[in-house]
Structure formats: C-alpha cells, structure tokens
C-alpha cells in the first residue's frame, strides 16, 4: 500500500537525515536513523546489527578518512545522493527501494566512486520512521572507491 503523504515525506526525510549524517561523518546521527536492533548491510558482506555496532562501524570509517585528511571535515569531499524512491507502508512497517550514487572530491572535481541500490524495511518507532534493515547492493564488484590520498 502506498504511504500517506505525511509518511512519504517523513520517509524521504529519514533518507535525507541518513545521507547527511554520512556526509558529515556523524556516527551518532547515522545510528539514530536505525531502530534499536536495526541492520546496516553494505556491499561486499559488511554488516552491523544494532545501534552500537552501526555507530562503532561508522566511527572506524570516519577515523580512516580523518587520518587521510587531518583537520578537514569529511563533508568537504564526500557526497551521497539517493533517488528513485519506491515506498510501501502498511500498519507501521514499510519496504523501500532506491538508487544511490556516491561522489568523492579529488582536486576541484567530484568523481562518481560508487553506484547501487538500497532496499530494506522501515518501522515506525513512536512517531518516527527508522530503518529496520538497510541493504546496499553495489552495481559492480569493484565500487571504484579508493581513499582520497591527495590533500585537497
């Protein structure tokens, strides 16, 4: 069943909060987008279950990027874009599909480094939608990702 207009906007806002938290390198905000026992499943079999595991995984990823660019905020060189949302909702549980694109700033240009699809489930926790499961399916085995090594 299609979501109500209010739920549709709230679900789009959840995606916006999620990608903003990723781009800002904020592990707490990323984890807050998930239900307590939510699952983050990425490409190449990487998985975290529960807010603490998700937060810890994001802290490690942020530390890796921070080490490459000391003193530079992550949002200056990384962007996530999510489009083509397909959302179904019934009785406080929903499913979603969307496409994503990741870009990375190298010098003065932003290069596309990863593309793929998200799919999963969302649940209503109180009056807020949260990811119960968020799976990322990469469009290729090699995402094209290489850590930014040049100081920009």
Q: pLDDT tens digits for 33-86? A: 999 999 999 877 789 999 999 999 999 988 887 787 777 766 677 788 999 999
Please choose, from the candidates 46, 68, 67, the residue with its C-alpha nearest in 3D space to the C-alpha of residue 57. Answer: 46
Identify the H or E element spanning 138. strand 128-138
DSSP, res 141: S
What's the pLDDT band for 149 if we cut at 50, 70, 90?
Answer: very low
Question: Is 145 within the bounds of a domain?
Answer: no
Per-residue pLDDT of 99-115, as tens digits, reads 999 888 777 788 888 89
Instruction: Please state, in angstroms and rounded to a whole number, the distance separating the CA atoms of residues 74 and 99.
Output: 22
Instruction: Please state, in angstroms and rounded to a whole number, the distance separating the CA atoms of residues 82 and 142.
Output: 20
The domain in which residue 79 lies consists of 5-138
In the Cβ-directed half-sphere of 13, how many Cα atoms lie within 13 Å? 8
Instruction: Please state, in angstroms and rounded to a whole number, the distance separating the CA atoms of residues 41 and 116.
Output: 13
Instruction: Please state, in angstroms and rounded to a whole number, the distance separating the CA atoms of residues 63 and 57.
Output: 10
Q: What is the CATH number of the domain that holds 14?
A: 3.10.450.50
What does the pLDDT average to over 114-132? 95
What does the pLDDT average to over 141-149? 46
Instruction: Say what the pLDDT of residue 72 is.
Output: 72
What's the pLDDT band for 141 if we cut at 50, 70, 90?
Answer: low
Question: Is 147 within the bounds of a domain?
Answer: no
Question: Is 80 within the bounds of a domain?
Answer: yes
Question: Is 9 within the bounds of a domain?
Answer: yes
Question: Is 83 within the bounds of a domain?
Answer: yes
Question: Is 16 within the bounds of a domain?
Answer: yes
In the chain, % of residues over pLDDT 70: 90
Structural domains counted in the chain: 1
What does the pLDDT average to over 134-143? 78
Given a contact cutoff of 8 angstroms between Cβ atoms, the answer to whether 117 and 38 are in contact is: no
């Amino acid at each position: 069943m299609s979501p109500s207009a209010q739920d549709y906007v709230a679900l789009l806002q959840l995606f916006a909060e999620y990608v903003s938290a990723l781009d800002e390198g904020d592990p707490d905000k990323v984890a807050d987008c998930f239900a307590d026992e939510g699952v983050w499943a990425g490409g190449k079999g990487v998985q975290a279950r529960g807010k603490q595991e998700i937060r810890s995984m994001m802290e490690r990823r942020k530390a890796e990027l921070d080490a490459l660019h000391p003193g530079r905020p992550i949002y200056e060189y990384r962007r996530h874009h999510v489009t083509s949302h397909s959302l179904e909702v019934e009785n406080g549980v929903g499913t979603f599909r969307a496409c994503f694109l990741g870009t990375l700033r190298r010098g003065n240009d932003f290069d596309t480094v990863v593309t793929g699809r998200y799919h999963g489930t969302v649940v209503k926790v109180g009056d807020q939608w949260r990811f119960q499961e968020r799976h990322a399916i990469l469009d290729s085995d090699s995402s094209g990702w290489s850590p930014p090594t040049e100081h920009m």
